[in-house]
Every structure is written in structure tokens, then in C-alpha cells.
Amino acid sequence: MVRHLPFQFSINSLNMKKTVFYILSICANITWAQVGINTETPQATLDVVGDAIADGSLFLEAPNASTQILGSNLLIRSTTNDKLKYDIGISKYGPINYAQFAFRSASTNGLLDYDTKISIADYTVTIQGFYFLKTDGNTSLTIHSNTSNDDSEYYQFYAYKNSTTQTWFIKAFVNNATFRSGPSNIPVDILLNLIIYRKRFISKELPAISIDMGDMETGTAPIPLGF
């Protein structure tokens, strides 16, 4: 038996080395593993082939830090269920569009009505910002009230639907007031920043919400449909 001890000890040592090696290999595979759902060849840390439903919270760590999605194209499904590549570079429109409307030498009364010719059936138009200045680019102008020098009039800059033309119209003026430089009324340049959303793409127009405040200063509006 004494002569067999070294041989027995050598086998146990070898088994121990194998066991340690297997454990290290498993740990390494767990550390660097890629998980695939509906695929045996995942191409990322988590590769899901099929639909995914997040019933709880979904967190994205710095999504805009990725340089791989810049310049990429969307994959969309047509009305005939064909899969198409949407290239915004050659498309007539984008899901969200930005445009600046510059009205040069507008009336001292402002812009009382302007037809953008943009279809209300296909787009939603909003005014996100505006500014005005003298026709020479100078900003030294004032708003003069037509009712009283002590009155502060209110701005009316908005887009609205025209049911007759079925297009979006724009208004940009100040209530009961004119644009002035010194004592004189003057024409002005009015610049409007518009955001134009393509309907039935990534935006959805919800029904209007009407609230009767009953001459109260505070109240609670009903939650929009679907929220």
C-alpha cells in the first residue's frame, strides 16, 4: 500500500486541477457570455429575435452615446405588410419636421392669417417659438397698445385648422396693438419656428378635451385617452 500512495495522490491532484480548471472555465463563460432569445448565435450581450414586451420599467444607459445608430435607417411595414427601409435622406417628409417661416416686411398689425397649405389630414403643426425684429435686423422696436398707453396687450402666435381649406393656418399678432419704432408704426420681420408631425407614423392626435371650469381658478382635467 505504501508504494501505491504516491500514485493515488497523483490521481487526486490531477482531478483537483481538472475541477479547478472547469470552475474557472464556467466563471469565464458566465462573465463573457452573450444571451440569445430565439437565436443560437447572439450578436450582442442580449440578442432578442422576435417581439419583446416590457411589463415594468426599461432603462437605457446613455442611449445617445452610441455612434452605431447615427445615419441608420428605420425598418417599417407598409400597408401591404411588406418590410421597407425608410431613408429620411430621400423621403419627402420625416416623422418629425422642423421649419422656420420668415415673414419679411409683415404689416405693423402682424400676421392675421396665413395658409401654410399643409394638410390637416396628414400633419399636425405647432409653433414652438417666435421672434420679431425691424426689417433692417434691428431689435429696437416696441408694442404699442391701440386702446391705452397703460395697457399691456397679449400675443397671439399659434397654428389652427381651417375646416374650409382643410389646411393649417397661422396667426402671429398682438391684441389691439401695432409694432412701433419711436412714435411711428412700422412693418416687421416675423420669424416662426414650426414643428410639423407626420400623422400615423410616430405621432397620434387625440380627441380634444373640454373642461367646464365653472368660473373657478383651479380644477382637474380628465386624463387623455390612452394614458
- Per the CB < 8 A criterion, the answer to whether 83 and 73 are in contact is no
State the pLDDT at residue 32.
60
Q: What angle do CA 40, 44, 50 make, to 5 degrees?
A: 60
State the pLDDT at residue 72.
67
pLDDT over 50 (residue 8):
no
pLDDT over 80 (residue 42):
yes
C-alpha cell at 74: 428605420
In this structure, what are the phi and psi dihedrals at residue 195, rounded to the nearest 5 degrees? Answer: -110, 125
Helices (H), the chain: 5-32
**Average of pLDDT values for 75-90?**
77
In sequence order, what are the residues at sequence separation of 6 or more whose Cβ sits closer than 8 angstroms to the Cβ of residue 104?
A: 135, 189
pLDDT, the chain, mean: 81
Kindly tell me the sign of the dihedral angle through the C-alpha atoms of 134, 136, 140, 144. Answer: negative
Helices (H), 137-210: none
**Average of pLDDT values for 20-47?**
70
* % pLDDT > 90, the chain: 42
For the ranges 11-15, 37-41, 68-72, the one whose mean pLDDT is highest: 37-41
State the pLDDT at residue 65.
63
- Residue 59 confidence class, pLDDT cut points 50, 70, 90: low
The whole model's pTM is what?
0.62
